[in-house]
Amino acid sequence: MSRRVLVFGIGNPGRRDDGLGPALAEALEARQLAGVTIDADYQLTIEDSVSVAEHDLVVFADADAVGPEPYSLKPIGPAAGGVGFSTHGAEPGGVIALAQQVFDKKTEAYLFGIRGYEFELSVEMTEKAKANLEKALAFLEPLLRGEGSFAEAAASFCA
Amino acid sequence: METTGSKLKRVVIEPVTRVEGHGKVTLHLDEEGKLHDARLHIVEFRGFERFIQGRPYWEVPVLVQRLCGICPVSHHLAAAKAMDMIVGAEKLTPTGEKMRRLMHYGQTLQSHALHFFHLVSPDLLFGFDADPAVRNVIGVAMKHKDLAVQGVMMRKYGQEIIKATAGKKIHGTGAIPGGINKSLSLEERDGFLKGLGQIKEWAEGALALARKYTEDHLKELAGFGSFDSNHLSIVREDGAMDLYDGNLRAIDSEGKKIFDQVAPVDYLKHIKEEVRSWSYMKFPFIESLGTEKGWYRVGPLARVNTCDFIDTPVAEKERKELLQLTNGKPNNITMAYHWARMIELVHSLEKIAELLNDKDLQGSDLVVQGERRHEGVGILEAPRGTLFHHYRVNDDDQIEMANLIVSTTSNNEPMNRAVTSVAKQYFDGRAVTEGMLNRIEVAIRAYDPCLSCATHALGRMPLTVAVYDHQGKLLDRVVREGE
C-alpha cells in the first residue's frame, strides 16, 4: 500500500499573510498529486486527529511570524501542550499526540513554516509573502511526489 | 509597568495565544500588597465594521466568517438573518429555516463538545492543582481514553453537519439573504441518523459528568467566582429556549423580568455600550439600569435562567434540576455554566434528531424575497451567548454601517468580576502561583470566551506571568511556553 500523505494548511485567509497555509493547500490541491490529501482550516482542532491517524505522513503548513525566510521544515512529535484561557485551537504536536493516544497511530509529521510579515484584517497577502509561497511550493511539491526524503530535507534546516 | 495610581502596583498575567486576539489579566495591588482591583484585558478587533463598509450586502454572510475562526457559523447565520431583513424576507421557507437551524445546532454541538472535552474536562477530572503537563486533553486521552474518543467524535459529527449545511468547512456559503442555497440530501440525512444514537448517548454521559461535578462540589463552587447578576438572551414567543430565533428577554438575579419580547430591531432602545479607558473591549449594559447595575451575563447559564422551559425532554428535565439548586430562582454560580452548557449540548442533539426526521430538509423551495429595506438586525444565540449583527445598506447595495456585539463583549464585566473574586481569594500579594493562575483561568474558561478573532501564526504562543512591585521592579516572572 502506498504512502498516504496529508497536507494541512493552517491560518485565516482574511488576515493577510496568515493565509499562507491555506494558500499553499489550495495551490497543491489544484495540482492533484497522487496519494496526497489536502485540508485547511483556521486552526487545528481535536477532531483533526482522526484524519492525522488516517495518514502515514502529515505536513502542517502554517504562516511563521518569526522564522527563517522563505520557509522552514522541521519534524514534530507528540506534545501535550497546555490549556490556555480560551483558545479552542490545538497545536500540531497535540493533534499528533491525540492520534497516537486515541487511535494508536504514530504518524510521521513535519511543520512547514512559511515566513509571513503582516497579519491585520485584509485578504491581500504581502508581496514578500507571495514570493515565499512560490518558493515553498517549489520546495514541497517534489517531496510530495516522492522525489526525496522529508526527513533528509528537514535535517538540512537544522544545520 | 503600568500603574493605575501612584500607590498601586500591578501584576500581569498575559497569555498570548493569538497575534491580535489575546487576553491578559492585571492585578492591581495597594501599598500593603493587598488586591485592590483585577482586570481582564481582551484585545478585541474592532476594525471589522470598517473592513466591510462599501462591500455588497450579499457578500456579508461569507465575509463575516473571516472575523472568527472559532464560531464562523454563528457570524454567518447572524449576518444572514440581518440580510433577510434587507431583502424583505419576513419569513423563510420551511426548508430555508430548518436547514439554517440544523447548521446552528451542529455548530452549538461541536463548540460545546470541544469546550467541555478539550478545555474543561482536564480541570474537572484532575483538579485545579494538577500538574499542567497532565491537566490537558492529552492527559485525558491517557487516563480516560473513552472520554477523549467521545470528544473527538462528537466534534467531528458537528463539523460534518456544518459542512453538509454550509457547503464547506470554512467560509461556508449555505445561508444567503432570504434563505439557503442547498437542502440536505437523503444520503447525507441517513449518514447523520446512523451516527446520532451513539453521539446522543455520549452527550448524555457528558451531561451527567458535568451535573455530578457541580453537585459534588457545590459548596466550593458556590463561592468560586460567583456573584448575582442580570441575565440576557433571546427566547421564543412562548418563553421557550430558542438558540436560533426569538426576541430579547432580560431578567435580574431574582428572576424578575427587566424587559421581555423586545424585537431584535429595537435592541438599541435597551442595550448600550460603555467605553472604559483601560480596555479595547466595550462594556454593554441595560440602559434602564445604568452602567453600575445594568451589566448582564449571556451564554448557556443565562439562557437556562431566562427561558421558561426547554422544548426537548432530556434538556428540560435537566434544566429543572439545575434550577432546583437555587430553589427555582436564577442560578448565579459561575461554574454552573458547564452544566448548563451540557444541557444545551443535549438539547442541540434533540433538535438535530427532530430536524433530521423532518422531510422539509429535502425541500426545493429555498429562498424568499420581499420589499427591499435599508436596515437589518440579526440576533441569535451563539454558543457563547447572544450575538448581535446590525447593518445599514445604501441604494447601491453597499454596506454603509455595521455594528456587532459579540457574546464575549457582553460577558466582559462578568469575567472581570469573576477574576476579581478569585484573585481576592487566592492571591497572597507576592507571587502568582500555579494554583492561583489556573483558578483564574478556570473562572474565565467557565464563560468560554472567544479571544481568537485573529490569526494563528507560529512563534507567538507563550504564556507570560509577571509580578512587579510598586516601583516597577520585576519580582517574579513565569513563562508557560506554547508549543
Q: What CATH number is attached to the domain comprising A103?
A: 3.40.50.1450
Beta strand A108-115 with B23-29 is: unpaired
Whether pLDDT at A57 is above 70: yes
User: B373 CB near a chain A CB, below 8 Å?
Assistant: no
> Are B102 and B352 within 8 A, CB to CB?
yes
pLDDT score, position B104: 98
Do B115 and A88 make contact, defined as CB atoms within 8 angstroms? Answer: yes
Specify the DSSP element, H or E, that contains B248: strand B247-251
User: B272 CB near a chain A CB, below 8 Å?
Assistant: no
Has residue B3 been placed in a domain? no
The domain boundary residue, chosen from B332, B364, B388: B332
- Mean of the per-residue pLDDT values for chain A? 89
- Closest Cβ opposite residue A82 in set B69, B136, B444: B136
Do B114 and A46 make contact, defined as CB atoms within 8 angstroms? Answer: yes
Do B66 and A15 make contact, defined as CB atoms within 8 angstroms? Answer: yes
pLDDT score, position B11: 56
For residue B131, give the chain A residue with the closest CA.
A82
| Number of domains present in the structure of chain A | 1
- Closest Cβ opposite residue B51 in set A87, A119, A121: A121
- Letter string b/e over residues B430-444, b meaning 16 or more CB atoms within 10 A of that residue's CB: eebbbebbbbbbbbb
CB contacts of A89 in chain B (<8 Å) are 69-70, 452, 456
pLDDT score, position A90: 76
Longest Cα–Cα distance of chain A, Å, equals 44
Specify the DSSP element, H or E, that contains A39: strand A36-41
Mutation for A interface: B43, B111, B149, B456, most A CBs within 10 A: B456
Do A78 and B70 make contact, defined as CB atoms within 8 angstroms? Answer: no
User: What would the pLDDT profile of A90-143 be if each residue is shown by its tens digit?
Assistant: 788 889 988 998 889 999 999 999 999 988 777 789 999 999 999 999 999 999
CA B182 to the chain's CA centroid: 27
pLDDT score, position B142: 86
Mutation for B interface: A17, A43, A59, A83, most B CBs within 10 A: A83
Residues 6+ apart with CB under 8 A from B183: B95, B99, B361, B362, B363, B364, B366
pLDDT score, position A119: 83
| Number of domains present in the structure of chain B | 2
User: B15 CB near a chain A CB, below 8 Å?
Assistant: yes
Cell of B40: 481582564
Has residue B393 been placed in a domain? no
CA B441 to the chain's CA centroid: 16
CB contacts of B152 in chain A (<8 Å) are 46-47, 49-50, 98, 102
DSSP per-residue letters across B11-57: EEEEE--SSSS-EEEEEEE-TTS-EEEEEEEE-----HHHHTTTSBG
DSSP annotation of B116: I
Do A46 and B18 make contact, defined as CB atoms within 8 angstroms? Answer: no
The domain boundary residue, chosen from B332, B357, B389: B332
> Are B466 and B477 within 8 A, CB to CB?
yes
Q: Which residue has the cell 440576557?
A: B232
**B 414-443 residues inside an 8 A Cβ radius of A:** 441
Has residue B100 been placed in a domain? no
Has residue B323 been placed in a domain? yes
Do B69 and A42 make contact, defined as CB atoms within 8 angstroms? Answer: yes
Going B426 to B427 to B432 to B438, the CA torsion angle's sign is: positive
For every one of its 483 residues, what pLDDT tens digit does chain B have, with 9 covering 90 and above?
233 344 555 555 544 232 234 557 777 777 777 777 777 766 555 567 777 889 999 999 988 887 666 678 999 999 999 999 999 999 999 999 999 999 999 999 999 998 898 888 888 888 888 877 777 788 888 888 899 899 989 999 999 999 999 987 777 899 999 999 999 999 999 999 999 999 999 999 999 999 999 999 999 999 888 899 999 999 999 999 999 999 999 999 999 999 999 999 999 999 998 877 666 667 899 999 999 999 999 999 999 999 999 999 999 999 999 999 999 999 999 999 999 999 999 999 999 999 999 999 999 999 999 999 999 999 999 999 999 999 999 999 999 999 888 888 889 889 889 888 888 888 777 777 777 877 887 888 888 877 654 333 443 333 344 555 566 555 655 554 443
Has residue A12 been placed in a domain? yes
pLDDT bucket at A87, cuts 50 / 70 / 90: low
- Domain with B430, as residue range(s), is 9-43+417-480
Do B483 and A92 make contact, defined as CB atoms within 8 angstroms? Answer: yes
CA B388 to the chain's CA centroid: 12
- Closest Cβ opposite residue B463 in set A45, A65, A82: A82
Has residue A87 been placed in a domain? yes
For residue B170, give the chain A residue with the closest CA.
A41
Mutation for B interface: A42, A49, A123, most B CBs within 10 A: A42
- Domain with A90, as residue range(s), is 5-154
Has residue B448 been placed in a domain? yes
The domain boundary residue, chosen from B308, B332, B356: B332
Helix/strand number for chain B, H first, E second: 16, 16
pLDDT score, position B451: 60
Has residue B139 been placed in a domain? no
| 3-state SS, residue B181 | coil
End-to-end Cα spacing for chain A: 34
Has residue B99 been placed in a domain? no
pLDDT bucket at A80, cuts 50 / 70 / 90: low
Has residue A159 been placed in a domain? no
CB contacts of A91 in chain B (<8 Å) are 461, 482-483
Does the bond joining A70 to the residue before it have cis omega, within 30 degrees of 0? yes
Alpha helices in chain A (DSSP H): 20-31, 48-53, 92-103, 127-144, 150-155
Q: For residues B105, B111, B114 and B119, what is the CA-based torsion angle, rounded to 10 degrees?
A: -140
Alpha helices in B231-306 (DSSP H): 290-293, 300-306
